[in-house]
Amino acid sequence: MRDIAAQAIDLHKTYGKGDAEVRALDGVSLDLYAGQFTAIMGPSGSGKSTLMHCLAALDKPTTGEAVVNGRRLSKLRDRRLTALRRDNIGFVFQAFNLVPTLTAQENILLPLSLARKRPDPEWFDKVIDTLDLRPRLEHKPSELSGGQQQRVACARALVSKPDIVFADEPTGNLDSTSAAQVLDFLRHSVDDLGQTIVMVSHDPVAASYCDRVIFLADGRVVDELARPNREQILAHMADLQARAMGLIGEGA
């Protein structure tokens, strides 16, 4: 049995009221395993970001429970949640979200600085060299390419050795070469550095780097695949799309 790094237990999230009500999550239960690279896929608006934000303690579900490393987030006070986000969770955003006035190194060390902690020098070196960032450490984000900025954001997410890293469309703003570098790094950090990563993507190429692909539709988990290749993911997405359009029936 694999250890569970994070868990969604019957998560519901609704926005708005009455006619304007949107069910972003409609009963999501899911175990995310330690030491795996998991992809969450689904059409735009299917609830991927909402699920990730609820699991990463960036948002609260309407009902249900999110658990990270055995801790039930609904039971934690704000100060403990802040500490958990800082010490136990890494996050990589589509838009990089670096601080423009800080150098790459200062950005990478920001979560540790805020926690008044020093980096583990060996781990810092390993992350920096794996991401090939050493020649860029003194550069500001505006002096870096998109791919380099996202590698800085990956280093920032990993530098505290979090229990789990959440990445929301991390390659969505990158050209295919930079995207491949970031995905290679995420894969490598699972295989060789022992990290746990959950990535939202709608790109079958990105999801084909993962150990497990979970499909969301209309705020529910509808399916999953183990170690699929790009063709299997594409076929699966076409199938889900056809079902959503009513072109094929349930048992087909």
Which residues lie near Mg ion (CB under 5 A)?
48-49
- Give the nearer residue to ligand ADP in terms of CB position, either 42 or 119: 42
Task: Supply the minimum distance, in Å, between the C-beta of residue 119 and ligand ADP.
Answer: 32
Q: Which residue, 24 or 237, is less far from ligand ADP as judged by CB?
A: 24
Strand 22-33 versus strand 4-15 pairing type: antiparallel
**Shortest gap between Cβ of 132 and Mg ion (angstroms)?**
28
Q: Is 49 in the site for ligand ADP (CB under 6 A)?
A: yes
Closest-CA residue to 74 (of 57, 88, 87)? 57
Give least dist CB 101 to Mg ion, A: 28
- Pairing type for strands 164-168 and 71-72 reads unpaired
- Residues contacting 168, CB < 8 A, separation 6+: 48, 49, 52, 91, 92, 93, 94, 199, 200
CA distances from 77 to 80, 83, 84, 165 (A): 5, 10, 11, 22
Q: Which is nearer to Mg ion, 127 or 174 (CB)?
A: 174
Which 11-40 residues touch ligand ADP, going by CB under 6 A?
15-16, 22, 24
Chain contacts with ligand ADP (rule: CB under 6 A): 15-16, 22, 24, 42, 44-50
